[in-house]
């Protein structure tokens, strides 16, 4: 299990370092997304890196009420989690159950989320020209 804290939590690394062992690793640098089998996140933008690589995602969002109240400076997401790339959980028990399900299925993405990942990114060989024509056609 590789744990990547948001940079604003780096001041707490010493607290989490006691959890490290041969199975739990605190990542301080970049994550090698393509080497991951499953991603667990809240509303981090890292989710797009995992979706691009077609890596299954579970959203763990136990503090939804606080988030949507604007307490963190946020009160909504551009891409609501319910429309995101994986199931949304709000309890440790539910998260554990989802992790076990993915492990039992060899961390294969569920079809509904695979389709969202496949259709989310717009890839063209000549991105600049494609973007130009796409924007021009929407005038």
Could you list the mean pLDDT of each consecutive 10-residue stretch along the chain, which spans 139 residues?
Answer: 80 81 81 89 85 93 75 69 89 95 93 90 73 78
Q: Give pLDDT, residue 71.
A: 66
Which residues, 6+ apart, have CB-to-CB distance to 77 below 8 Å? 43
Distances (CA, A) of 33 to 42, 57, 68, 131: 16, 12, 28, 27
DSSP 77: -
Q: What per-residue confidence (pLDDT) applies to 45?
A: 82
Structural contact between residues 95 and 58, judged by C-beta atoms closer than 8 angstroms: yes
Structure tokens that stand for 90 in this block:
């709000």
The CA angle 81-30-100, to the nearest 5 degrees, is 50
Residue 13 is predicted with a pLDDT of 80
Question: How confident is the model at residue 92, as a pLDDT?
Answer: 93
- pLDDT in the model for residue 127: 75
- Any idea which residue has 């079809």 for tokens? 111
């Amino acid at each position: 299990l590789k744990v990547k804290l948001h940079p604003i939590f780096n001041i707490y690394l010493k607290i989490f370092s006691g959890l490290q062992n041969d199975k739990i690793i605190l990542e301080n640098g970049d994550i090698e997304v393509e080497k991951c089998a499953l991603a667990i996140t809240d509303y981090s933008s890292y989710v797009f890196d995992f979706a691009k690589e077609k890596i299954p995602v579970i959203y763990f969002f136990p503090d939804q009420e606080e988030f949507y109240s604007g307490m963190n400076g946020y009160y909504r997401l551009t891409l609501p989690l319910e429309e995101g790339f994986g199931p949304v959980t709000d309890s440790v028990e539910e998260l554990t159950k989802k992790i076990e399900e993915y492990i039992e299925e060899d961390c294969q993405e569920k079809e509904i989320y695979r389709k969202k990942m496949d259709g989310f990114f717009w890839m063209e060989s000549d991105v600049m020209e494609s973007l130009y024509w796409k924007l021009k056609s929407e005038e």
